[in-house]
Amino acid sequence: MDPLLLGAIVAIATILVLFSGVSVAIGLLIVSAAFLLIFDGPRSLELMPELLFGKLDNFALLSIPMFIIMGASIASTRAGADLYEALERWLTRVPGGLVVSNLGACALFAAMSGSSPATCAAIGKMGIPEMRKRGYPDGVAAGSIAAGGTLGILIPPSVTMIVYGIATETSIGRLFLAGVIPGLMLVGLFMIWSLYSTWKSGNASRLSAGSYTWKERFEILPRVLPFLLIILGVLYAMYGGIATPSETAAVGALLCLMIAMIIYKLWNPKDLWVVLRDSTKESVMILFIIAAAGVFSYMLSSLFITQSIAEWIGTLEVNRWVLMGVVNIFLLIAGFFLPPVAVILMAAPILLPIIDAAGFDSIWFAVVLTINMEIGLISPPVGLNLYVINGIAPDISLKTILTGSLPFVACMVLAIVLLCLFPGLATWLPDLVMGAAV
């Protein structure tokens, strides 16, 4: 059978299996086993256990559970609420300071936790009621938190970037640095739209927040500065050549647990058990998907599907930016239905040869891909962040939340366009800190 036709059949079969409701990892294994059995015979299945466990034989994978524990220990405390309160007190004089505080808190908490749903829940519980009480439109209140929560997979340390680095054998340190400027750019775009939308609503008084004394501003800092120092310390250790990403993640996880216990009195064994239990569940889920994706990639390569697609793309006489547009549309559609980790692990083996052949930088592409995944987090039908916000504020309709999120989707699309026009937004900082890639 023609490999391209076979690839189309594999794609359809994969979609049908995943839509049946099975987990992503199990679905990938079912599809891989079925096609290997049909086209390579029963003996090919003997390789599956070796492929499954061999994919996990990578020291860099240790950083995933460590960063997840780091984020879970923060998410289990009042750190999100304290971070929100600190920014609100310090930005109270800024026009629209409340919505700016919310987005700033989302960005910082996302950097600490690396989890989009956790960011939405932690900041949304405080921010949405407060914004609505001050008269901000429901769409701005809900949409800004939903969009701000997506920053967790872009601003370092990011588990999504780690997965991309492992899947593509790309430097995780470079990927983290590549997400910094685009992440800050997205925060800026979100803030600009939120302020404009609030101003357009016609009530200038909505742009004012409360009044706080200098004593009230400083007394909140000791509760949030330790976490921020840990993030800065982790990044410094990683880029200063002091430790590997896995080592810094382990130290960061330990310190975050200690601070949660000391500052937020997280002494109860039941509470600590919940942190470790939830971290283990999420880590196993991600690692299982990575292992299953390794088998899936082998199946695609064994049947010459990956090579044939790359060769076919190479024969097309189209502008490389047209090709990039098609890739972005594919990623957007995939992100509507699947979690970011699954999309990266499934698409990377197919897309990377195409990206390299078209002359695009793989570090730059990682940022573009991640922003596409962010759009999926606030877009139906899955749109995980939309449902998290709806759970926090059930009296705000899902339609209002979605409508409020759409302008932020436009901001993300604009960010992708800016990255295409100015690739240095993603590549300049990694080259500056770590030297130009060879």
**φ, ψ of residue 79 in degrees (nearest 5):** -60, -40
pLDDT at 206: 52
Q: Each residue of 307-337: pLDDT tens digit? A: 777 677 667 777 888 888 888 888 888 888 7
Q: State yes or no: pLDDT of 108 exceeds 70.
A: yes
Taking alpha carbons only, the member of 11, 57, 8 closest to residue 294 is 57
- Residue 197's pLDDT is what? 78
* pLDDT of residue 136 exceeding 80: no
Per-residue pLDDT tens over the stretch 15-27: 888 778 788 889 8
- Number of other CB atoms surrounding residue 264 within 10 Å: 17
What average pLDDT does range 227-242 have in this prediction? 77
Q: What is the pLDDT of residue 178?
A: 92
Report in angstroms the alpha-carbon separations of 159 from 64, 165, 182, 215, 250. Answer: 6, 10, 17, 37, 14
Rounded to 5°, angle at Cα 306 from 304 and 309: 105
Give yes or no for residue 204 having a pLDDT over 60.
Answer: no
> What pLDDT does 421 receive?
92
pLDDT of residue 165: 87
CA distance 16 to 200: 45
How crowded is residue 432: how many other Cβ atoms within 10 Å of its Cβ? 10
pLDDT at 208: 55
Question: Position 184: which residue type?
Answer: L
Res. 438: pLDDT tops 70: no
What number of residues does the chain have?
438
User: Residue 25 in contact with residue 292, Cβ under 8 Å?
Assistant: yes
Residues 357-371: tens digit of each pLDDT: 788 999 999 999 999
Residue type, 151: L
Alpha-carbon span 354 to 323, nearest angstrom: 9
Across the range 97-113, mean pLDDT stands at 78
pLDDT at 200: 74
pLDDT value at residue 217: 82
Cis peptide before 157 (omega within 30 of 0): yes
- The alpha carbon dihedral of 182, 185, 191, 197 has a sign of negative
Predicted local confidence at residue 427, as pLDDT: 92
**Residue 368 CA: distances (Å) to CA of 8, 97, 349, 413, 418:** 25, 30, 16, 10, 10
Structure tokens at 403: 């409508």
Q: What is the 3-state secondary structure (H, E, C) of the chain?
A: CCHHHHHHHHHHHHHHHHHCCCCHHHHHHHHHHHHHHHHHCHHHHHHHHHHHHHCCCCHHHHHHHHHHHHHHHHHCCCHHHHHHHHHHHHCCCCCCHHHHHHHHHHHHHHHHHCCHHHHHHHHHHHHHHHHHHCCCCHHHHHHHHHHHHHHHHCCCCCHHHHHHHHHHCCCHHHHHHHCHHHHHHHHHHHHHHHHHHHHHCCCHHHHCCCCCCHHHHHHCHHHHHHHHHHHHHHHHHHHCCCCCHHHHHHHHHHHHHHHHHHCCCCCCHHHHHHHHHHHHHHHHHHHHHHHHHHHHHHHHHHCCHHHHHHHHHHHCCCCHHHHHHHHHHHHHHHHHHCCHHHHHHHHHHHHHHHHHHCCCCHHHHHHHHHHHHHHHHCCCCCCHHHHHHHHHCCCCCHHHHHHHHHHHHHHHHHHHHHHHHCCHHHHHHHHHHHCCCC
Confidence grade of residue 207 (pLDDT, cut at 50, 70, 90): low
Alpha-carbon distance of 129 to 175, in angstroms, equals 36
Predicted pLDDT of residue 224: 75
What's the pLDDT band for 418 if we cut at 50, 70, 90?
very high
Q: Which two tokens stand for residue 294?
A: 């390794």
Instruction: Give the pLDDT score at 24.
Output: 81
In angstroms, the CA 347 to CA 15 distance is: 13
pLDDT, mean over the chain: 82
So what's the pLDDT on residue 366? 92
Q: What is the dihedral of CA 275, 276, 277, 281, to 10 degrees?
A: 100
What is the rounded average pLDDT of the residues 90-94?
70
The predicted-structure confidence for 41-81, as pLDDT tens digits, reads as follows 888 888 888 888 888 887 778 888 888 888 788 777 777 77
Give the contacts of 380 (CB within 8 A, at least 6 positions apart).
336, 386, 402
**Model pLDDT for residues 172-188, shown as the tens digit of each residue:** 888 988 999 999 999 89
Specify the pLDDT at position 236: 79
Instruction: Give residue 417's pLDDT.
Output: 94
